[in-house]
């Protein structure tokens, strides 16, 4: 026989259970995790998403960055320095690794939908096959697919406003609108949905949670260290935590970013990929 | 011999031709059942054997969570403790350490993702058939010199890459240290494997080379273990579980082939189900044959049975007599059937006959070698014989009841 609990102890019991079990890594639905305030009327989720995307991207973008990979395997974080050129309308990009020494000169060339890789030490150019797309990129928590995936956060998704996050409950540190990105059926997207926190003031993304098709949260990406570049508010630190790999995280620290940069389209060739610069 | 037995025996042979036919049907059914089951047992054992000798043995030891993630993250500490524990288990036939991971394999402008397995060639030869499956060139050398990096490719993978013996291929992956791992390897051989998926996805290097390539130090991803006999896989698992009990065991997980290859287990179940349905139909038909024989024998002897009853034989004795007839009929058939079926099966036991043509192709789809094998397990003839005995008992029920319930006066009047 189980003694009947007085009515008012029930919340306490639930709370105790919660403490015992800890936060569960999986959530049944996106909303249950969020205690959001309703957003003011007249806010359009699609418009918020467009603003955020335009804030982050341009037609021709140059980035120099340092990627730091942390893992329980490593006593010292792995740091990969690279710079990249992207021509977004042509869906082309080039990434050149500068460090560590072993990978210096390694190049990645995306000519949608293909990904090419050049390994200077063995002088081989390799097309990364589809079966390798979900493998780790340069030992990070990003996959090759993350590099190649060419989806527009505007065209490939339906947007729905979930609410307003005052930025005081630990999700993000600034007031933000929370928008759910649901991929269109024909979009080549591996995620079931993405929930984005978009800064109320600047429109820049503060955080993105990626869910798989079963609604399980797979990664959390946080944007911070904002700097103003022209009219843009650009995060210079992107930190990604894969929730299925405890103790792992990858962050990208942008050292230089140039929007509407001036470079030729002919740098996106396999011939140029082999140049070591 | 009492009177009932003698009467029954005489009655069985009163119509020798009919009895012979009925006996023949029983013999035929028994031989067919025993042969079918032994063929199925043989092919299933062969399927399991082939499958475990192309994968991770009967039982695999790996780091906790490895089967789920299949990455280098989960490992077996290879510092001698696991080795010593496995050596303690009695039902181990052979074991082989492995380092498996996924990597890009590339030659010229062609590239594919492939499972790359680092093996100890001598140990591996005891567990899997990779070494003997080399169809061109040779297997990787047991003692690779410093800086020697040899690779053996699945035949289809080599074809897809356009790789020939002597070519230098690039392997590119991510090491345990999260550094990029890439080196050129010399193709020294290709393997012809019965499973096309394996032929497309298998790259083998030396364990030490893999360890260096993946910067894996004193770790391996799994130990593949073969039980001393196919039927002993479960016993091996239990034994290993006790051997690994303790702090070391907490870091490890054990998986038997049934867990690693649920598809194979299901395939065998479906195959068995189909066979048993066919055999059940056959046995039921034989049952009706016995029923027919005994019933005819009763009907044509109605007058005689009337006389016996009139002379004072108890109906229960008559019931027993008819039952004895049925048992004798089945018994003679079963005895002859066992004599016909068992000696050749005992001789065929374990022999392999190559299959040809479409049948060979069909078996290869399931990753099996195209051979026919027979396996005689004692439970097979025992089970088959008992089944037919039960069917004969059921078949005799109606004629026996009919005979024992006959009214002497009616019976005498008939015919």
- In tens, the pLDDT along A89-108 reads 888 899 999 989 989 999 99
**For chain B, which residues lie within 8 Å of any Cβ of chain A, measuring from their own Cβ?**
73, 102, 104, 106, 109, 111-113, 170, 172-180, 182-184
Same domain for B120 and B69, yes or no, is yes
Which residue range is the domain that position B189 belongs to? 57-259
Same domain for B392 and B360, yes or no, is yes
Same domain for B251 and B321, yes or no, is no
| Closest-approach residue (CA) in chain A for B168 | A122
Q: How many helices (H) and strands (E) does chain A have?
A: 4, 13
Q: Which residues of B9-26 are buried (b: 16+ CB within 10 A; e: fewer)?
A: eebbeeeeebbeebbebb
A2 pLDDT above the threshold of 60: no
Same domain for B275 and B408, yes or no, is yes
pLDDT band per the 50, 70, 90 thresholds, residue A39:
confident
A259: left (phi over 0), alpha (psi -120 to 50) or beta: beta
CA distance A52 to chain B (A): 33
Of B197, B227, B259, which closes a domain? B259
3-state secondary structure (DSSP) of residue B175: coil
A173 pLDDT above the threshold of 90: no
A122 and B176 within 8 Å at the Cβ level: the answer is no
Q: Is A121 touching B (CB cutoff 8 A)?
A: yes
Render each residue's pLDDT in chain B as its tens digit; 415 residues: 677 788 888 888 888 888 888 889 889 989 999 999 998 888 888 888 888 888 888 988 988 888 877 888 888 888 888 888 888 888 889 999 999 999 999 998 899 999 999 999 999 999 988 898 899 999 999 988 888 999 999 999 999 999 999 999 999 999 998 889 999 999 999 999 888 888 999 999 999 999 999 999 899 999 999 998 777 888 888 888 888 887 777 888 888 888 888 888 898 899 899 999 999 998 898 889 888 888 888 888 888 888 888 888 888 888 888 888 888 888 999 999 999 999 999 898 878 888 777 777 766 666 667 778 888 888 899 999 999 999 988 988 888 888 888 777 777 776 5
Q: Is A119 touching B (CB cutoff 8 A)?
A: yes
A119 and B172 within 8 Å at the Cβ level: the answer is yes
Same domain for B158 and B63, yes or no, is yes
Q: What mean pLDDT do residues A139-168 have? A: 82
CA distance A268 to chain B (A): 18
All residues of chain B having their beta carbon less than 8 Å from the beta carbon of residue A102 are 179-180
All residues of chain B having their beta carbon less than 8 Å from the beta carbon of residue A136 are 174, 178
Same domain for B124 and B176, yes or no, is yes
The predicted structure's pLDDT at residue A29: 35
Query: CATH number for the A27-273 domain, one of 3.40.50.2000, 2.60.40.60, 2.50.20.10, 3.30.200.20?
Result: 2.50.20.10
The predicted structure's pLDDT at residue A7: 40
Of B259, B282, B306, which closes a domain? B259
Region of poorest pLDDT, from A13-22, A175-184, B194-203: A13-22
Same domain for B40 and B70, yes or no, is no
**8 A C-beta contact, residue B212 and residue A174:** no
Same domain for B7 and B111, yes or no, is no
| Closest-approach residue (CA) in chain B for A115 | B111
All residues of chain A having their beta carbon less than 8 Å from the beta carbon of residue B173 are 135
The predicted structure's pLDDT at residue A151: 65
| Distances from the Cα of B260 to the Cα of A153, B176, B251, B300, angstroms | 40, 24, 19, 62
B256 is written with which tokens?
């038997």
Same domain for B214 and B277, yes or no, is no
Q: What mean pLDDT do residues A147-154 have? A: 71
The predicted structure's pLDDT at residue B299: 85
> Which positions 227-256 of A are in contact with B (Cβ < 8 Å)?
245
A122 and B183 within 8 Å at the Cβ level: the answer is yes
CA-nearest of B276, B278, B279, B230 to B256 is: B230
SS3 content of chain B, % helix, strand, coil (to 5): 55, 20, 25
The predicted structure's pLDDT at residue B91: 87
A154 pLDDT above the threshold of 60: yes
Q: Which of A72, A81, A129 to mutate to test the interface with B (most CBs of B within 10 A)?
A: A129
Number of other residues whose CB lies within 10 A of the CB of residue B106: 27
Higher pLDDT, A7 or A226: A226
The predicted structure's pLDDT at residue A27: 36
The predicted structure's pLDDT at residue B105: 95
A135 pLDDT above the threshold of 60: yes
CA-nearest of B199, B202, B205 to B140 is: B205
Same domain for B33 and B61, yes or no, is no
B109 and A125 within 8 Å at the Cβ level: the answer is yes
A122 and B73 within 8 Å at the Cβ level: the answer is no
Q: What mean pLDDT do residues A186-191 have? A: 80
Q: Tell me the pLDDT of chain A averaged across its residues.
A: 82
Number of domains in chain B: 2
Of B217, B234, B259, which closes a domain? B259
Q: Is A135 touching B (CB cutoff 8 A)?
A: yes
Distance (Å, rounded) from C-alpha A240 to C-alpha B143? 43
B104 and A119 within 8 Å at the Cβ level: the answer is no
| Closest-approach residue (CA) in chain B for A127 | B111
B112 and A106 within 8 Å at the Cβ level: the answer is no
Same domain for B251 and B213, yes or no, is yes
Distance (Å, rounded) from C-alpha A115 to C-alpha A132? 10
Q: What is the pTM of this model?
A: 0.76
Nearest to A129 among B73, B111, B177 (CB): B111
The predicted structure's pLDDT at residue B161: 93
Q: Which of B106, B163, B175, B176 to mutate to test the interface with A (most CBs of A within 10 A)?
A: B106
Same domain for B244 and B316, yes or no, is no
Nearest to A136 among B106, B112, B174 (CB): B174
Sign of CA dihedral A31, A32, A33, A36: positive
The predicted structure's pLDDT at residue B196: 84
Distance (Å, rounded) from C-alpha A80 to C-alpha A101? 10
Distance (Å, rounded) from C-alpha A61 to C-alpha A63? 7
């Amino acid at each position: 026989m189980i003694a009947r609990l007085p009515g008012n102890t029930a919340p306490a019991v639930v709370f105790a259970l919660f403490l015992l079990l800890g936060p569960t890594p999986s959530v049944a639905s996106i909303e249950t995790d969020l205690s959001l305030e309703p957003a003011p009327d007249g806010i359009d989720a699609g418009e918020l998403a467009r603003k955020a995307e335009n804030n982050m991207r341009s037609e021709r973008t140059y980035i120099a960055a340092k990627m730091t990979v942390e893992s329980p395997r490593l006593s010292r974080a792995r740091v990969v320095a690279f710079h990249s050129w992207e021509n977004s309308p042509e869906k082309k990009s080039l990434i050149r690794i500068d460090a560590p020494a072993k990978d210096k000169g390694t190049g990645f060339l995306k000519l949608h939908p293909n990904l090419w890789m050049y390994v200077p030490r063995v002088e081989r150019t390799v097309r990364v096959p589809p079966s390798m797309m979900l493998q780790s990129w340069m030992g990070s928590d990003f996959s090759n697919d993350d590099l190649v995936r060419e989806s527009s956060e505007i065209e490939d998704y339906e947007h729905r406003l979930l609410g307003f996050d005052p930025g005081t409950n630990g999700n993000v540190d600034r007031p933000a609108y929370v928008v759910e990105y649901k991929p269109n059926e024909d979009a080549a997207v591996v995620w079931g949905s993405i929930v984005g926190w978009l800064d109320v003031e600047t429109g820049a993304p503060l955080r993105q949670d990626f869910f798989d098709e079963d609604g399980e949260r797979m990664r959390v990406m946080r944007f911070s260290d904002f700097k103003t570049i022209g009219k843009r508010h650009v995060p210079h630190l992107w930190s990604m935590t894969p929730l299925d790999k405890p103790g792992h995280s990858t962050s990208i620290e942008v050292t230089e970013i140039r929007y509407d940069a001036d470079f030729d389209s002919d740098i996106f060739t396999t011939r140029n990929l082999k140049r070591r610069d | 011999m009492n009177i009932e037995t003698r009467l029954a025996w005489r009655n069985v042979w009163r119509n020798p031709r009919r009895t012979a036919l009925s006996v023949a049907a029983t013999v035929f059914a028994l031989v067919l059942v025993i042969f079918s089951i032994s063929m199925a047992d043989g092919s299933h054992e062969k399927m399991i054997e082939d499958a475990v000798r192309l994968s991770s043995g009967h039982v695999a030891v790996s780091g906790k969570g490895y089967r789920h993630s299949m990455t280098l993250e989960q490992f077996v500490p290879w510092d001698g403790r696991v080795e010593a524990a496995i050596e303690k288990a009695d039902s181990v036939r052979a074991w082989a350490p492995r380092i498996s991971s996924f990597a890009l394999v590339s030659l010229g402008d062609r590239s594919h993702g492939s499972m790359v397995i680092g093996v100890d060639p001598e140990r591996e030869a005891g567990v899997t058939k990779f070494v003997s499956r080399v169809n061109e060139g040779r297997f990787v050398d047991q003692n690779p010199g410093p800086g020697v990096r040899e690779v053996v490719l699945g035949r289809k993978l080599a074809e897809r890459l356009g790789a020939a013996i002597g070519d230098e291929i690039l392997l590119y992956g991510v090491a345990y240290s999260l550094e990029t791992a890439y080196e050129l390897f010399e193709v020294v051989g290709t393997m012809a494997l019965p499973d096309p998926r394996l032929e497309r996805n298998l790259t083998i290097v030396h364990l030490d080379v893999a360890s260096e390539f993946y910067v894996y130090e004193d770790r391996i991803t799994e130990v593949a273990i073969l039980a001393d006999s196919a039927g002993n896989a479960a016993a091996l698992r239990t034994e290993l579980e006790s051997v690994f009990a303790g702090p070391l065991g907490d870091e490890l997980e054990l998986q038997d082939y049934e867990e690693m290859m649920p598809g194979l287990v299901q395939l065998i179940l479906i195959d068995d189900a189909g066979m048993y349905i066919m055999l059940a139909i056959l046995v039921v038909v034989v049952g009706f044959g016995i029923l027919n024989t005994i019933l005819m024998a009763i009907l044509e002897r109605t007058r005689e049975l009337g006389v016996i009853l009139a002379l004072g034989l108890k109906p229960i004795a008559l019931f027993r007599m008819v039952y004895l007839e049925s048992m004798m009929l089945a018994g003679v058939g079963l005895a002859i059937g066992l004599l016909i079926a068992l000696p050749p099966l005992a001789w065929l036991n374990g022999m392999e006959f190559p299959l040809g043509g479409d049948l060979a192709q069909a078996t290869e789809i399931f990753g099996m070698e195209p051979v026919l094998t027979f396996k005689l397990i004692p439970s097979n003839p025992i089970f088959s014989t008992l089944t037919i005995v039960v069917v004969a008992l059921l078949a005799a029920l109606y004629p026996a009841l009919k005979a024992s319930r006959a009214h002497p006066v009616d019976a005498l009047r008939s015919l």
